[in-house]
Amino acid sequence: MRHKLQVLVAAVAGCLGTAVQAADYTYLQNLLNATPAGGWVKASTNKFIDAAPTGADQAPPSPSGPLAVTYAWSGMAWDGSRGNIILYGGGHANYVGNEVYLWQGSNGTWTRGSLPSQVDLSTGYINGGGAPQSSHTYQTNIYAPINDRFVMFGGAAWNSGGAPADANGRTGVWWWNPALADANKVGGATGTGWNPSSQGSNSWQARPYDPWVGMPAGSGRSYIYGTSAYRAENGKDVIYLTLDQNSSGLPALFRYELGSPGTPDSWSMVGVDFGSAYIQSGAAAIDSANGLFVRTALTGGSFVNDLAIWDLSQNNAANPTANKEFGVRLVTETGEDWATNASTSVAYNAQTGELVFWDGTAGGTVWTTKAEYLADGKLDSVWTIHKASSSTAAQPKGNFTDGVLGKWEYAPELGAFIAMDAADASGDAAIWLYKPMAAAVPETSTWAMMLAGMMGLGLMSRRRRQR
């Protein structure tokens, strides 16, 4: 089956005109095969710090070192095309280095995708440009498979704590090309590293910064505490984000549609938060079976809802206030309130239709729920959540300083979840796999149908280019 899947992936890559090599999941699948359902298995084989730049290539402590990339309000992205994790972070008062890190699923090792760019320490700007500032990334790092790009929105940039910027002002979204990953090259141009003799990969691309549709100039929408979730729509990479302004706790929902490396992107505001849930640090996922954008919320005072839900079928760019969030309260099987917290992250299991929460406060314990509806077809405002303690003694230690945020994802290629543990004093941030109950790798026939659809999109794209 695995060989057939790799052949199919290679065929799709050929149709899309890319050079993505089919991912080798043998190592990870063998780990999962030996793990009981409901259990965890450590997948990393070296320490994160082993991949950090050294010598003349390294960025200065500012005040922290590279380990801050793993813990300072950061998130990762799962590159299912290669079976890798892409990690980018640092920022604000933590770390100036803007190097990209990769965790390789083929063998479990940490490595780099680039070296850090040299920074003017007085302004915080990248010398020579060509790459973004290091930033807190919260839960906004995303891999876009159709364009084969890692998408970095940024948050609190080093050293300002504001939006990523250069001498000309705020910069837009940044794309990074994983096909150009090179541990020994700067992400920008040659000569822009801390070591002046460093070669450049030119792997970053700045997208034009334009105000979002429907928003007045200077409205101050920020990626701080931002969340995101991906889905393909009409053959396009689409990312939904909640973005706040002035730390109101009432963010709006935005739709960001990627163009291509040579064509523009599009933004639109498609929903608003009218106060049924208080939203700051947290995470989001898309329930693809029901078309729901699900965002964690914080309870306290008059705020009792744990989730803010937007129905994506009600997206309304012309009148975003017509698409208001719907608040949901979570209760246990015995009817007791279950409260999310600032550390809670969520990912969606496409095989079971479950939303799975992990906050690391109880090691590997996770919680699961499903969307619940009333008899008239409307969403229920109370959903039941179920506790799932780890079936294995081996499990992440958790206890995150700044929250799980984007360090918890579902990998459909594996039928399992992938998590980054909290950083420790040894310089590690271990990668773990969680095998959910009733987990199963999709059958070959299922993969064939999915990939055949992707091939069709690729053929249509190719025909358009030939006209």
Q: In CATH, which of 2.40.110.10, 2.120.10.80, 2.60.40.3080, 2.30.30.30 is domain 2-466?
A: 2.120.10.80
Q: Parse the chain into domains and list their residue ranges.
A: 2-466
Residues 6+ apart with CB under 8 A from 299: 278, 305, 306, 337, 339, 340
Closest CA to 129 of 206, 63, 70, 56: 206
Q: Which residue type is seen at 141?
A: N
pLDDT at 383: 98
pLDDT digit string, tens, across residues 35-86 = 999 999 999 999 999 999 999 999 999 999 999 999 999 999 999 999 999 9
* pTM as predicted: 0.90
In the chain, % of residues over pLDDT 90: 78
Q: Is the pLDDT of residue 15 over 50?
A: no
Which pLDDT band holds residue 246 (cuts at 50, 70, 90)?
confident
Percentages helix, strand, coil for the chain (3-state, rounded to 5) are: 15, 35, 55
**Which of 11-20, 265-274, 328-337 is the most confident on average?**
328-337
Which pLDDT band holds residue 169 (cuts at 50, 70, 90)?
confident
Supply the Cα-derived Rg of the chain in whole angstroms: 21
The CA distance from 242 to 264, in Å, is: 21
The CA distance from 172 to 211, in Å, is: 10
In the chain, % of residues over pLDDT 70: 87
Which pLDDT band holds residue 462 (cuts at 50, 70, 90)?
very low
Q: Which segment of 141-150, 174-183, 370-379, 439-448 scores lowest on mean pLDDT?
A: 439-448
Q: Is the pLDDT of residue 450 over 80?
A: no
The CA distance from 288 to 348, in Å, is: 8
Instruction: Determine the average pLDDT of the residues in 208-216.
Output: 61
The CA distance from 349 to 294, in Å, is: 13
The CA distance from 278 to 236, in Å, is: 31
The CA distance from 293 to 296, in Å, is: 10
Q: In angstroms, what CA-CA distances link 55 with 52, 128, 327? A: 10, 21, 51
The CA distance from 215 to 303, in Å, is: 27
pLDDT digit string, tens, across residues 376-413 = 999 999 999 999 999 999 999 999 999 999 999 999 99
Total residue length of the chain: 467
List the Cα angle 377/335/333 in 5-degree steps: 80
Residues 6+ apart with CB under 8 A from 411: 78, 80, 417, 418
pLDDT at 455: 46
The CA distance from 102 to 199, in Å, is: 19
The CA distance from 336 to 333, in Å, is: 7
Q: Are 157 and 96 a contacting pair, CB within 8 Å?
A: no
pLDDT at 311: 97
- The larger pLDDT score, comparing residue 171 to residue 131, is at 131
pLDDT digit string, tens, across residues 102-138 = 999 999 999 999 999 999 999 999 999 999 999 999 9
